Amino acid sequence: MDFFSGQESLTAIQWALRAVVGFLFLIGIAKFMGQRSISQLRFLDFVVALLIGNIIAHPLSDEGLGLKGSMITMSVVVGLYISGVFLSLKWDLIRKIFNPPPIPLIEYGKIKYKNLKKARVSIDVLLSELRKEKTEDIQKVALALWEHGGSISIFLYPQYQPLTHSTLTSPLQPFHYPHTLVKERKIDYEILQKAGKDKEWLVQELKTIHNVKLNDVLLATIDENKNLKVFLYN
């Protein structure tokens, strides 16, 4: 285990053993962090990835540094990461820090210039993302959202969307983006106010039409026609 602690010099075999231990430890760390950090590099994931990469790089390239301290430090960082993920599931304030809401860049064919500056996105980047979606005309875009992961979600007006069986058999409907009204039993009062409704209307709507209580609702969305879609806890 001489390779595990700091040495004045290491043999080729000891360097190789360090690399193997570091590789296996990183696999274990990645497995423990879960698939989310692998499939999507979000704000919190990005911070942790930078820290872990910097921590493990030094003992793998400097024989004077041992692996033990780096592995302990990485374990603490991952523990903080897991705690941050679970806390963001429980408290909205922490969730908004780690997972901020999307920023609308285009609404009903018009560019929201102030939001472009807020998201730090240039016109060139926006046009590039539209070209990737085979969209050459901004006025065809009903809504474009800058997601906190760095991507842009683009929704075209129904008449410009690709043909499907449903569009061939039914008349086109106006574009309505569903806003999250209830999430994990908690009401978004800002969305409720924009819809021109109050809590009493929502509770009554859930009771009379959907036959559920607020505490049973995992997710509820509302569009511009005041259509309410409700998803319950299983």
pTM for the structure as a whole: 0.55
Are residues 88 and 121 both part of a single domain? no
Residue 65 lies in domain: 2-95
Q: Which of 47, 76, 95 is the last residue of a domain?
A: 95
Per-residue pLDDT of the chain (234 residues; tens, 9 = 90+): 566 666 666 677 777 777 787 777 777 776 766 655 454 566 677 777 777 777 777 777 777 777 777 788 888 888 888 887 788 777 877 777 777 788 899 888 888 888 888 888 888 888 888 888 888 788 888 889 988 777 888 888 877 777 665 556 666 667 677 888 888 888 888 888 888 888 888 988 888 888 888 888 888 888 887 888 888 886
Are residues 134 and 161 both part of a single domain? yes
Q: Which of 95, 124, 158 is the last residue of a domain?
A: 95
| DSSP string over the chain | -GGGS--S---HHHHHHHHHHHHHHHHHHHHHH-THHHH---HHHHHHHHHHHHHHHHHHH-TTS-HHHHHHHHHHHHHHHHHHHHHHHH-HHHHHHHSPPPEEEEETTEE-HHHHHHHT--HHHHHHHHHHTT---GGGEEEEEE-TTS-EEEEE-GGGSPP-HHHHHS------PPEEEEETTEE-HHHHHHTT--HHHHHHHHHHTS---GGGEEEEEE-TT--EEEEE--
- Indicate whether 127 belongs to any domain: yes
Are residues 74 and 34 both part of a single domain? yes
Are residues 19 and 73 both part of a single domain? yes
- Indicate whether 65 belongs to any domain: yes
Q: Which of 139, 169, 199 is the last residue of a domain?
A: 169
